[in-house]
Every structure is written in structure tokens, then in C-alpha cells.
Amino acid sequence: MAKLKLEELGRISVEEFHLALKIPVVVVLDNIRSAMNIGSIFRTSDAFSIEKIIICGISATPPNREINKTAIGATESVEWAYEENINNAVTTLKAEGYTLAGIEQTNNSVNLDSSDLDFEKIAVIFGNEVDGISDEIIDLLDICIEIPQYGTKHSLNVSVCAGIVLWEMMKKFRSSHKIS
């Protein structure tokens, strides 16, 4: 066994990425405090060919040194936009036909492993590291999804959470559309 060199990985260029099929998922970042978490989410969104990221509220935006540390160039490949008001962002996405899925622990949350993610277009909202998703948009969401956890902590780091959720969405999309 030998590790592959970067040139042996066969990755597409940024230009090819822009033209490639994307899974119909928009990531919405609601007041994410850590620019490094934002960068990690960019990198994950690139890996799983996510359609777009919408950054809201106090969240940092590219170009940003802390985002770049973890994004490692993914801010150039993944389409993104900034919307100061989260309410405007989700209202627009809803009007465009996206299912609004908050990743949040609520009295009606559905476990990720048992959720039916059969979707045409979905916007996945990830909330602030301390306060979660803004209270003002909870009632606008179509579904809340949570990741089952079996330890003593009540939550995961937002970038880890995004990795898990986006991986599941990518798998389900590729499976339902017979893409290998």
C-alpha cells in the first residue's frame, strides 16, 4: 500500500467544478462565530459538490485569513453569497421551492438516520455554535433534523455536524439518482 500523491488523485479543476453536477443542497450559515468553522464547511461543501453556501448575520465571509486556513481554496470553487438577514435568506429559498431543513434539537426533530431526505431541492440551516438556529426562523422550517448522539455532550461542533449531514445528503442524492 502506498499513499497517493496529489496529482494521482484525479481531482477536477476549479473551472471543471463550476460546470459539474451539484447536488441540490444550499447550506445556510446562521451567525457562525468561528471563521475556521466556516472554512471547514466550505471545504466539505466542495468535497460533496454542494450547490451553494449562503452566509448570514455575524458570520465572516471570504476573503478572510481564518476561513482560508481551513477552506484551502474551496472559497474559489463553491458558490457563495452573503445575506445579512437570515429571515430574508430562508424566505427567498422557500419561494424558490427549497425544503427548509434546520439542523437543530427541537421537540419535533427527526433523527438524521431515520429522516426521509427524498428531496428535489433542500436548504440546510446550521446555527450559531452556542445559540443554535435563530428563534425567528424556527417556525419557517419544514423539518428539523438532529444527529443521534450517545455520549455526555449535547452537541457537535458545527463544522463536524455539517460534514455528517452533508455526507448523508450526498449519499442519498447519488443513490436516488443512480450516480456512482
Pick the CATH number of 19-146+156-176 from 3.40.50.2300, 3.30.1360.30, 3.40.1280.10, 3.40.50.300: 3.40.1280.10
Structure confidence at residue 63 (pLDDT):
96
Structure confidence at residue 178 (pLDDT):
65
Structure confidence at residue 177 (pLDDT):
72
Q: What does each of the 180 residues of the chain score in pLDDT, given as a tens digit? A: 999 998 899 899 999 999 999 999 999 999 999 999 999 999 999 999 999 999 999 999 999 999 999 999 999 999 999 999 999 999 999 999 999 999 999 999 999 987 776 678 999 999 999 999 999 999 999 999 999 999 999 889 999 999 999 999 998 888 777 666
Domain spans, the chain: 19-146+156-176
Burial (Cβ within 10 Å: 0-12, 13-18, ≥19) of residue 25: buried
Nearest to 124 by CA among 34, 45, 17, 37: 45
pTM here is 0.94
